[in-house]
Amino acid sequence: MDRFLRVFLVLSCLMLAVQGLTVGTLNETVTRSSCGTDRACFSTPADCDPTTNSACLLVSTRSSSSGLDFELRGESSGYIAVALSVDTTAGGNDKTYICANSNGTATFFFALLNNNTLEIQNDTTSISNVSASVNSTTIQCVFAVTGLNASMSRSADNTFAVVLATGTLSSDGTPSTPTVKTVTALLDLSNPSSSNTATVTTAPNVTTDANATTAATTTTTTATTTTVSGANIGLQHSLSQALLILFGVLAISLL
């Protein structure tokens, strides 16, 4: 009986875990303050400051001992996302990190972006230290990614084009088709002097500028003006979280 219960609990937790990563509470504000000195920053509109521009979608990166640390902030009633492209075209198996507002609760998803579709991944072992906050439509999250490997060459491991996107959540709580806001040139995300060398894009058609590889200059982009419409959010996630906590308590009391 005891054993059955434990197996059941483990299975239940595994099934719930595939819905999204556990997300800690983010107590700080994601800003531009260390852009260019400590962190590489990419945003749409280029060089925007999220503390003064509510339309600003900002990601910053910094190399850590085992990979890259990310900070992401933007406005959406659904989700904001950063994807890493090895070829400046959004959508070819690009690793995509998604921070969502699930009915006021911050949730996190990992997906592959293919053909403008997000394929949610169950294996999130490359992602850790996720914390996030949601305040109205402002979503902020920080997370660490290990094992990125952009190319065969070790020195180019962190060289990606940064894709910034937003979208809504489907009624089952999963991220729907993203609206790609910008795709940068290929840049070394571990170099703080890398910044928006952006190329204009509208999903799913992506234009690239192969010559825009230097980090110093900034090409301003006309981001797509698609507005994210009202939230369409299911009960799934809060329910999952409640169950997860319940199972956790049960598991502990059983041990």
Ligand X SMILES: *[C@@H]1O[C@H](CO)[C@@H](O)[C@H](O)[C@H]1NC(C)=O
The contact set with ligand X (CB under 6 A) reads 18, 24-25, 27, 64, 66, 103, 115, 119, 121-122, 128-129, 131, 135, 144, 146, 149, 152, 154, 157, 204-205, 210-211, 235, 238
Residue 214 or residue 227: which is nearer to ligand X going by CB?
Answer: 214
CA distance 204 to 255: 51
Least distance between ligand X and beta carbon 5 (Å) = 21
Residue 12 or residue 131: which is nearer to ligand X going by CB?
Answer: 131
Least distance between ligand X and beta carbon 58 (Å) = 16
The helix or strand, by DSSP H or E, that contains position 138, with its residue range, turns out to be strand 138-146
Peptide bond into 45 cis (omega under 30): yes
Residue 15 or residue 254: which is nearer to ligand X going by CB?
Answer: 15
Least distance between ligand X and beta carbon 2 (Å) = 26
CA distance 183 to 204: 11
The length of the chain in residues reads: 255
In Å, what is the CA distance from 210 to each residue of 177, 184, 186, 188, 224? 27, 10, 9, 15, 21
Residue 20 or residue 192: which is nearer to ligand X going by CB?
Answer: 20
CA distance 235 to 171: 8
Residue 27 or residue 225: which is nearer to ligand X going by CB?
Answer: 27
Residues 6+ apart with CB under 8 A from 89: 183, 206, 208
- Burial classification of residue 158, based on how many CB atoms lie within 10 Å of its CB (0-12 exposed, 13-18 middle, 19 or more buried): buried
Residue 18 or residue 254: which is nearer to ligand X going by CB?
Answer: 18
Least distance between ligand X and beta carbon 134 (Å) = 9
Least distance between ligand X and beta carbon 162 (Å) = 19
Least distance between ligand X and beta carbon 168 (Å) = 14
